[in-house]
Every structure is written in structure tokens, then in C-alpha cells.
Amino acid sequence: MIRRTARFVTGLAAAAAITSPLAAQSWQAIGAPSNANAGAYWNNKSDDNVGNAVCNVGAILTNNPALAPTDCSSQSPVFLPLNPIPLTTNNVFLGGMGGANPGGFRFSAGLYNFGVLGRIAGIQSTAWGIITDGGSVLNAATLLSGPQQITDNFAVWITAAIPQNQQSVVYGSTQQTGTGAIGSRTATTNQQFAVFTGAVGAGNAILTSDAFGTIINTSAVQTFFVGMEDNVNGGRGFSVMDPMARMSDRDYNDIIVSVSAVPEPSTYALMATGFAGLGLVARRRRRA
């Protein structure tokens, strides 16, 4: 356990990188996923397609085109198609201009529930979790054990799976740099994460930014979905020296997790007061 922890911390330091200036980010309509390798960054042709199926994360979360249980290879567990379907093509993803990679993003502090929807060809030994601005690192086992009170903004992280000699590398959804930070995009790697939300009325007003990327300011009972790419070489077209390497398809389906903000007790009280007020108005109207 000590050796594994040391390796992880080493990975955090090794992954820190100087990043490019931030681009404007916004919530954008998903639209219908395809195999065209065009449009939004997450809408790429997946190497995990079986036949004419579309298995990138957008298709999985919207079940569009409709998926069958055998349409995407090496599911763990066999979980497709999702029921209920999390998103529709009217929901949104976080991206830059024209659907470009979103750059760094973090979630705001709060009470959260985390869940795993499943993996498509994701290597089982690949680890994931979150890291807070204060440097606290939480792994999947902790996050999945129950509601988590996170006291700082936090990023999502995933360990690299391929090439094998770089499995200690850790990718994160933040572009923060420094001794305890996790690196994100560089000159030779693309974003390792795609983030979506199905919340009704989710608008760009919930997004703020700082020197390290966008901060998603979650509101009551708002669920987000994060698709992860576990390949070290985060995009086609980059040269890879390692003989075990392969070009990434950037389909963001290697691990798919849900991040759900839980209302604080004060929020529940406010909601209860609102419902009580609506009930009073309704009774007065019936009497009238």
C-alpha cells in the first residue's frame, strides 16, 4: 500500500505541466452522435464499435443511435444500453469554441454522491478519483462509499493505462500546475475528460473561471457525467515512441462516472418552504 501511494504521488508530480492560456468554455447542445470524427471533441469514432454501432461517450449517454448489449466491446460490467437513459440530444456538454476540448475544469465545493456507470474496454487496473485545490487526493473506493463532503474545488483524475511504461502518469481535469497538481493538456496530449449535464436549465451562469480553468458551480440536485480516456497518448496524430502504445480514439468511454450535487439541509428547508407556499396558494385558489 505504501509503495502504491508513493507511486501515485510520484505520478502527480510527474504529470504537472505548463499549460496554454485558457479558452472560453460554455455548455453546448449535444446533438446526435455519429462516426464522422467531426464536430465536438468527444464525438469521435470509437475503436470499441461493433459493426456500425457508435460507442463514444455521447452515444452511450443518449443511447443515440440506439445501442444493443453487444454493440460496444468489452463492457465492464455489461451495462448498455443504459436504463434510464441519462441524457437526450437536447442536453449539453462543456466545450470550447466549435466544440473544441474544454481545457481545465473543476467542480465547486459541496456535498456529492459519485457513481460508476461502467467501462467500455477500459483496463480494470486503471484508477480514478478526485483531487482538491487543497491537495487532498480521494480514490474511487472512498468516493463510492457514500456521500462525500468536499471542502474545496476539485478536479477529476485518472491514471494512464497505455503505454505500459507510463502507467504511473496521472491525468487530471484541471490545468493547475505545481508540486501537488495534476497536469492536463500539453503540446502532445489532449484533454482526457468529457463532461456533460442533463440538468434542466443548466446555463453558462453556473460557470466561473480562474487561472486554472472553468469552475462548475453546482446547484441543488444537479447531476453531471464525466467520460474518461485512459490512453497516455490523448489523441490521434501524436507520435508515440513506446512499442506498446496505440493512438487514442478519444471516445471518453473507458470509465464513465456520475457526479451528483446533494442539497445541503438549508436547501432542503428552503425547498420545503417553497412547496408549502405553493400549497397555500393552491388552497386559496380552490376556495375562491
Q: pLDDT tens for residues 23-58?
A: 578 999 999 999 888 889 899 899 999 999 999 999
Cβ contact 262:107 at 8 Å: no
Residue 270's pLDDT band, with cuts at 50, 70 and 90, is: very low
Cross-strand bridge partners of residue 137: 131
**Quick check: helix, strand or coil at residue 14?**
helix
* 262, burial (CB in 10 Å: exposed 0-12, middle 13-18, buried 19+): middle
Predicted pLDDT of residue 4: 44
Q: pLDDT tens for residues 137-159?
A: 999 999 999 999 999 999 999 98
For residue 281, give every residue at least 6 positions away whose Cβ sits within 8 Å of its Cβ, in sequence order, or none. none
264 vs 182: CA distance, rounded Å = 29
Predicted pLDDT of residue 63: 97
The rounded mean pLDDT for the chain is 78
| Beta strands 110-120; 148-150: pairing state | antiparallel
All three cell numbers of 4 = 502504491
198 vs 175: CA distance, rounded Å = 25
Asked if residue 269 has pLDDT above 50, the reply is: no
Predicted pLDDT of residue 67: 96
For residue 27, which of 105, 80, 84 has the smallest C-alpha distance?
Answer: 105
| Other CB atoms within 10 A of residue 69 CB | 10
All three cell numbers of 115 = 457513481
Instruction: Work out whether the CA dihedral 207, 150, 253, 79 comes out positive or negative.
Output: negative
Predicted pLDDT of residue 38: 82
Cβ contact 108:153 at 8 Å: yes
251 vs 54: CA distance, rounded Å = 10
Residues above pLDDT 70, as percent of the chain: 68
204 φ/ψ angles, rounded to the nearest 5 degrees: -70, -10
Predicted pLDDT of residue 163: 63
Low-confidence winner among 68-82, 88-102, 168-182, 185-199 (lowest mean pLDDT): 168-182
Cross-strand bridge partners of residue 132: 154
For residue 222, which of 268, 173, 167, 259 has the smallest C-alpha distance?
Answer: 259
Low-confidence winner among 49-58, 228-237, 263-272 (lowest mean pLDDT): 263-272
Distance of CA 61 to the CA centre of its chain: 12
8-state DSSP, 36 = S
Q: What is the pTM of this model?
A: 0.82
Predicted pLDDT of residue 23: 53
